[in-house]
Homo-oligomer: A and B are copies of this chain.
Amino acid sequence: SRNIRLAVIPGDGIGTEVVAEGLKVLEAVGTKIEPTHYDLGAARYHRTGETLPDAVLDELRGYDAILLGAIGDPSVPPGILERDLLLRLRFEFDHYVNLRPVKLFPGVETPLADTPNENIDMIVVREGTEGLYAGTGGVMRRGTPHEIATQESLNTAHGVERVVRYAFEKAKTRPRKKLTLVHKTNVLTYAGDLWQRTVNRVAEEYPEVTTDYSHIDAASMFFVSQPERFDVVVTDNLFGDIITDLGAAIAGGIGLAASGNINPERTTPSMFEPVHGSAPDIAGQGKADPTATILSVAMLLDHLGLRTEAAKVEQAVADDIVERLTGWASRTTHEIGDDITARVSG
């Protein structure tokens, strides 16, 4: 079979460091993957003014998948790299499912007192292409006492239904078969009504799935006080952004949180990235934990149908994590990558 073509975008800050370890694991697990690097990010922006040239976007379209490190640097005004590079990739490739598992691996210390690890095991299905991320809005009389700045949340039947369907399909495959819509229907009445009606309608096709609803404020509370309430969570782009960072916090920290920006129809390459950002404060020091990237690599393998390899990587991470507990000295980015690599090769 032909080699799998992988586009690699290390990006900014610790992105380069963690992606290197992800690739090492990918090679060690014995896949026929052919990586090509793209130097998108702050450095290129400063050098050429480009964020994501159209020609590069077109080229990326031809890959089987994308592995991304992290995007964002304090030297670039907020929003430029995020909107014109990261979000543009998600939008142009119609990554309408942003899949983020929130699972506390056995042996990881939870920051929540009195919460057994197995109580934290959910999957957040975050919508990835609309809502407040659409970027519509504007400003009038900027810099004056009469300035008005607006942001618009755009929600379509098309966009909501497809991600809700995906979430029900996911819920069907899980032991607890429970789906919770997280929104703020009592304040965002137009969008909330669309989301709630869509969930209600699709639910009729999934009688085996229990559906539930939680306002985003209450859900944030429950993530801390009763995480066992959640199995599959479906939510909009912004609420999903917030709740998955919170999810990372309760599931062992941002160093372990993986994600996939998925186009389920596979008409475009899906993109896998750690949930964490570029962390410029620790960049280049070998301090970043590459585990989130390595787990994102496992999601990538799974998406490409390489389930044995995906399971091997996940198991290697799980084993590595158990060892961490037994008083392992703190390791560098490379060392963690090497240790997990050794496990998948062995």
Residues of A bordering B, CB below 8 Å: 72, 78-79, 82-83, 87, 109-115, 132-133, 135, 137-139, 141, 143-158, 161, 184-194, 196-197, 216-218, 220-225, 238, 241-246, 248-250, 253-254, 277
The minimal Cβ–Cβ distance linking A47 to chain B, given in whole angstroms, is: 21
Question: Contact at B249–A224, with CB atoms within 8 Å?
Answer: yes
Chain B residues within 8 Å of A192, by CB: 78-79
> Bound complex: CA of A189 vs CA of B149, how far in Å?
9
- Given A152-B150, A194-B139, A246-B225 contact (CB < 8 Å): no
> Bound complex: CA of A153 vs CA of B152, how far in Å?
6
> Bound complex: CA of A174 vs CA of B188, how far in Å?
35
Question: Contact at B139–A153, with CB atoms within 8 Å?
Answer: no
Output the residue of A110, A246, A253 with the most chain B CB within 10 A: A246
Chain B residues within 8 Å of A145, by CB: 157-158, 161
> Bound complex: CA of A212 vs CA of B83, how far in Å?
23
By beta carbon, the residue of chain B nearest A155 is B149
- Given A111-B114, A137-B153, A132-B193 contact (CB < 8 Å): no
Interface residue from B149, B191, B223, B254 paired with A194 (Cβ < 8 Å):
B149
Chain B residues within 8 Å of A248, by CB: 221
> Bound complex: CA of A191 vs CA of B244, how far in Å?
23
The minimal Cβ–Cβ distance linking A185 to chain B, given in whole angstroms, is: 4
By beta carbon, the residue of chain B nearest A112 is B111
By beta carbon, the residue of chain B nearest A243 is B220
Interface residue from B111, B132, B154, B277 paired with A188 (Cβ < 8 Å):
B132
> Bound complex: CA of A143 vs CA of B196, how far in Å?
12
Interface residue from B135, B146, B154, B187 paired with A83 (Cβ < 8 Å):
B187
- Given A79-B189, A149-B194, A151-B152, A220-B220 contact (CB < 8 Å): yes
> Bound complex: CA of A194 vs CA of B151, how far in Å?
12
Question: Contact at A132–B187, with CB atoms within 8 Å?
Answer: yes
Known: A148-B155, A150-B154, A225-B253; 9 extra A-B contacts, CB below 8 A, are A79-B185, A109-B113, A110-B113, A137-B153, A144-B157, A147-B157, A150-B190, A220-B243, A223-B249
Interface residue from B135, B146, B154, B246 paired with A221 (Cβ < 8 Å):
B246
Output the residue of A138, A192, A238, A243 with the most chain B CB within 10 A: A238
- Given A144-B157, A185-B79, A246-B221, A149-B87 contact (CB < 8 Å): no
- Given A151-B152, A155-B149, A139-B190 contact (CB < 8 Å): yes
Chain B residues within 8 Å of A241, by CB: 184, 187, 216-217
